[in-house]
Amino acid sequence: MSSSTQFLLNRARSLAGVTIAAIFCFFGIPPVFFFSIPAVAQYSSGMGTAGYASGQSAAATTSAIAGSVPSGPATNEVLHLSLRDAITQALRYNLATIESGENARIARGQRLLALSKLLPQVSAGASENVEQVNLSTFGINVPIIPKVVGPFSYSSVDANLSLTLFSFESIQRFRSARTAEQAAKLNYNDVLDVVTLAVGNAYLQVIEADSRIQAQQAQVQNAKALYDQARDEEQAGTAPRIDVTRTEVQLHTEEYNLSIARNNFAVAKLDLGRAIGLQLGQEFSLSDQLPYSDINPPSVDDALKIAYRSRNDFRATLDSEKAAAQSLSAAKGERFPVLAANGEYGDVGTTFGQSHGDFAFQAGVNIPIFTGGRIKGDITQAEAELRQRKAESENVRGQIDYDVRTAFLNLNAAKEQVTVAKQNVELANENLARSKDRFSSGVTDSVEVVQAEQSLASANDQYLTSLYNHNFAKLSLARALGVARTNYDQYLGGK
């Protein structure tokens, strides 16, 4: 039944009801309405191929990882923060985890909306009505009937039930929404993995910055001792003034580098606190130092198998592809007939004590014949979205292969760098000790000692960088395998 036909039918029924009421009022009969207007059957209209929220874009996620929602006011106590504490805090307060969790809830809400299209819709109501009608507006000009009828009143209680008996489109859209919800949950788990990597990296950067301060303090002490020695010898007349000037310049250089190291440490702590949602202005210190420890990772082939099985982002793209295929099926299902039924029962009268029951039932089928290209447009859009999801899943498959192989390359390189840098530090310390002895014996001037100190500083810098790179490479391997959130302590601790 078309909407215009239904409107005319409802209008005719309303006019008939008013006319009967007028006649009843004229003859002193209570205007009890023994009929009601049936509701229109619940036909499903074309919903298009609107996608379901399954997660944030990569750019949005990357931006959100650096942000957080502070967990409360700061305290006067200094918190001793372990790596586990930092990650646990971040999984609760990091902005990316919060937004991804809400995206999963949005997907759940969309699934419930899609499910509602398949379930009965029941409503009930009660009303008390007072009306007065001018019959002239309806074209009724009967001499024995007054032009104005009323006021009259009546009470009604009614219940309505509408049900879609069959809609292939609604069934497929519900399946698509359910699959999209699964993809959103997987995206949420993947964001937890990414946040673990980001927070672990921030924690390692604080450790590295603190180690650089300690190394730089040692450099300042060495430079200060060399300056004092040069000044004493210059006062004793056994060393020229140029040695004092040269060592003083080196001392100020090391003090300058120490100031930079301290500032970098403070900024690194702010970055970590920001990422984990620490209270604004809260003082904290790190309780884990994460010294060098080696691991025995699986082979590249085994690692790839683990990654394809464990990476939540890959599983999410597969579910998104499946949801897009189901949306395409739903778009094609718009051409299928839709069966629907609608029923209504009411109790109407001047008072509830003088009321009478009335009911209406309607069942029908809706067959789309010509939709002006709407269904074709929905199918075209759904096909394009399906091709996009397929391309994205293949891209993630390639990205996993890249991540795993890159993590192994970085891990092996960092391991070699740690070994070489450690040897270089030992040699630089030995060279500095010999240069100091030669300077004390008057065999050489301060140039050799300053150069030895600079070599030691460079060796220490390389060693600290290699330690950080090694720990980050292990954490990156855990992320590449999809186990960063669950096994990060095993990779960083070497268990």
pLDDT for the residue numbered 229:
87
> Which residue carries 């029951």 as its tokens?
357
Look up the pTM and report it. Answer: 0.79
Per-state percent for the chain, helix, strand, coil, to nearest 5? 65, 15, 20
- Max mean pLDDT among 42-46, 389-393, 484-488 falls in 389-393
Each residue's pLDDT tens digit, 33-84: 333 333 333 323 333 333 333 445 555 666 788 888 987 788 889 999 999 9
**CA 437, CA 452: separation in Å to the nearest integer?**
12
CB 108 within 8 A of CB 54: no
Task: Please report which confidence band the pLDDT of residue 321 belongs to, taking 50, 70 and 90 as the band edges.
Answer: very high
Q: Which residue's entry shows tokens 């778009």?
A: 331
Q: Is 30 a residue whose pLDDT tops 80? A: no
Model confidence at 438: pLDDT above 70:
yes
3-state secondary structure of 70: coil
Q: Domains of the chain: which residue ranges? A: 49-121+167-338+371-493
352 — pLDDT class (breaks 50, 70, 90): confident
Residue 375 has pLDDT above 70, yes or no: yes
Rounded Cα distance, 299 and 303, in Å:
6
Cβ density class 251-281: b for 16+ within 10 Å, e for less: bebbeebbeebbebbeebbebbbbbbbbbee
What confidence score (pLDDT) does residue 24 get?
A: 38
Task: Say whether pLDDT at 121 is over 90.
Answer: yes
Lowest mean pLDDT among 28-37, 86-95, 264-273, 434-443: 28-37
The answer on pLDDT for 363 being more than 60 is: yes
pLDDT of residue 23: 36
One CATH from 3.40.50.740, 1.20.1600.10, 1.10.150.120, 2.40.110.10 for 49-121+167-338+371-493: 1.20.1600.10
For residue 22, give both structure tokens.
């007028």
- Residue keyed to tokens 């890249």: 402
Pull the structure tokens for residue 301.
Answer: 């082939």
**Sign of the Cα pseudo-torsion (71, 74, 75, 77, in order):** positive
Predicted pLDDT at 95:
93
Question: Over pLDDT 70: what percentage of the chain?
Answer: 87
- Within 10 Å of residue 489's Cβ, how many Cβ atoms? 17
Query: At residue 158, what are phi and psi to the nearest 5 degrees?
Result: -145, 160
- Looking at the predicted structure, is the pLDDT value of residue 192 above 80? yes
pLDDT per residue over 145-183, tens digit each? 788 888 888 888 999 999 999 999 999 999 999 999 999
pLDDT at residue 61, as a whole number = 60
Residue 193 is predicted with a pLDDT of 95
> Distance (Å, rounded) from C-alpha 256 to C-alpha 249?
11
Q: How do residues 201-237 score in pLDDT, each as one tens digit?
A: 999 999 999 999 999 999 999 899 889 988 988 888 8
